Structure 1
Amino acid sequence: MNHGVMKRLACSVGAAVLLTGALSACVGPLIVGGAMVGGSMVATDRRTSGAQLDDEAIELRAASQIRSNLGTRVRVSVTSYNRQVLLTGEVPNLQDKQRVEQVVKAVDSVASVVNELAVLNSPSLMDRSSDALLTGRIKAMLLDTSDLQSNAFKVVTERNTTYLMGRVTQREADRATEVVRATPGVQKVVRIFEIISEQELKNMDTVPSGMQPAAPKPAGV
């Protein structure tokens, strides 16, 4: 692995363990019961500026509501992309899994929720560190893939399962999935994409970042 990739990997892993605002180059997530929440806005983001702000607010509000309603007995990671929310982590029972989803659906601006919470004991710190390292490795792989825009993808890893989110074309979705599946350590890939056409992508490239027209509600793929 060359020096550039190692540097990008270190940045990605740092973002997985540091609180929001701790770094300017790789903004870290918020923690809810030991889980990761959130991601940074980037210059080439395909979301509108309003959607980016909504996603940041959704993650913060959802984290607060989960903490208020369920305390620390759950470990929930909240990831919002274009107002679609992915829930990952662990809860002690099915009732808590459903309760977390209800709480998040009630948060302002949430369009839909993909509930991937597992009913089991929380993983060890070593397991969580392994997931963070794997996420960093995947981001580095996407960054070094010449036919993909790595910033178009949001990557979340839980228990060696990698979740991919973003507004991408079918070609990009398939290519990214191929790259991630080939990454050592990945056991499963779950795609939660909003598929756009090649023409839509071309149109995005002609307008400033964050100024894209509002998109319809995301749909999982």
Structure 2
Amino acid sequence: MFTLLSHTSVLAKARVARMAGLLMLISALQGCAVATVIAVTAGATMVADRRSFSKQIDDQRIEFNAHNELNKQKALAKNTNLHVISINGTVLVVGQAPNSYLRDLAIKTIQDVPNIVTIHNQIRISSTTAITTQSNDIWLTSKVKSALLASSEVNAKDVKVVTENSEVFLLGLVTREEANIVVEITRNINGVSRVIKAFEYI
């Protein structure tokens, strides 16, 4: 079994390396140094991810298609502030809607997007957040990620951190023990008002 897993890992790394190499070649032909750096970083991240390569692509497609469907609804595009995050088909929808009708419409709009396994509806009924609040959310996310990186008990790369109006949402493929550690670290970060788990357990 060890040989099989090692061989599979080598093949996965080789596949990602080829993709990163192709992206670097394209960027070089276009004279874009920034794209080259992004290609290398993306390749390394894909290798470290607990999701399969195909699942990572599926998640990107889910997010793109979901946002596209939401934007087709003029009432949603004009009156709400919504974000869709997908990890291994587990979809988290966060943000604000002015009423329950638009909140429910948002979920109904994306529920038929292919490859979605489950949807966590965390849309709040309220006005959209101000720029200052959004900036604070970015700062809180960085604080949580930094705290996870400093921990020797979990791998921060396995956890997706999303902050919306000081509420921190946690996603990823983790063990229950890892989940408990991550929650404990997060809830002790100054400024975090609430921690919501949307993990998939392995």
Into which bin does the TM-score normalised by the smaller protein fall? 0.7 to 0.9
SS in structure 1 of the partner of residue 113 of structure 2: coil
Residue correspondence of structure 1 range 69-80 to structure 2 within 5 A: 69=73, 70-80=76-86
CA contact (8 A) 2:46 2:53 kept: no
Identity %: 29
Please give the alpha-carbon distance, in whole angstroms, between the structure 2 residues aligned to 1:26 and 1:118. Answer: 34
Which string of whole-angstrom CA distances, capped at 9 and with x for unpartnered residues, describes residues 70-124 of structure 1? 3221110111010111000001110111110011111111111110001110111
CA contact (8 A) 2:70 2:106 kept: yes
Of 103, 107, 122, the residue aligned with 1:116 is 122
Give the TM-score normalised by structure 2.
0.76
Let me know the Cα RMSD of the aligned residues: 1.9
Q: Which residue of 1 aligns with 2:111?
A: 105
Q: Bigger radius of gyration, 1 or 2?
A: 2
The structure in which a higher percent of residues are helix is 2
Which string of whole-angstrom CA distances, capped at 9 and with x for unpartnered residues, describes residues 25-77 of structure 1? 888xxxxxxxxxxxx95431111111110100111111111011132211101
Q: Which residue of 2 aligns with 1:90?
A: 96
Of 57, 60, 71, the residue aligned with 1:67 is 71
**Which residue type is aligned with residue 96 of structure 1?**
L
Of 135, 155, 164, the residue aligned with 1:158 is 164
Q: Which runs of 5+ in 2 are unaligned?
A: 1-34
Q: Which runs of 5+ in 1 are unaligned?
A: 1-20, 28-39, 197-221
Please give the alpha-carbon distance, in whole angstroms, between the structure 1 residues aligned to 2:137 and 2:77. Answer: 23
Q: Which residue of 1 aligns with 2:16?
A: none
CA contact (8 A) 1:79 1:85 kept: yes
SS in structure 1 of the partner of residue 78 of structure 2: coil
Is residue 140 from structure 1 mapped to residue 141 from structure 2 by the alignment?
no
Q: Which residue of 2 aligns with 1:43?
A: 47
- Relative to structure 1, the CA distance from residue 123 to residue 85 in structure 2 (aligned partners, 3 Å threshold; closer, same or farther) is same
Q: Which residue of 1 aligns with 2:13?
A: none
- Relative to structure 1, the CA distance from residue 124 to residue 98 in structure 2 (aligned partners, 3 Å threshold; closer, same or farther) is same
Please give the alpha-carbon distance, in whole angstroms, between the structure 2 residues aligned to 1:90 and 1:56. Answer: 22
CA contact (8 A) 1:41 1:52 kept: no
Is residue 52 from structure 1 mapped to residue 56 from structure 2 by the alignment?
yes
SS in structure 1 of the partner of residue 79 of structure 2: coil
- Relative to structure 1, the CA distance from residue 173 to residue 89 in structure 2 (aligned partners, 3 Å threshold; closer, same or farther) is same
CA contact (8 A) 2:87 2:171 kept: yes
CA contact (8 A) 1:84 1:111 kept: yes
Please give the alpha-carbon distance, in whole angstroms, between the structure 2 residues aligned to 1:54 and 1:130. Answer: 30
- Relative to structure 1, the CA distance from residue 26 to residue 117 in structure 2 (aligned partners, 3 Å threshold; closer, same or farther) is farther
Residue correspondence of structure 1 range 124-203 to structure 2 within 5 A: 124-196=130-202
Give the TM-score normalised by structure 1.
0.70
Higher relative contact order, chain-length normalized (CA < 8 Å, sep 6+): 1
**Which residue type is aligned with residue 95 of structure 2?**
G
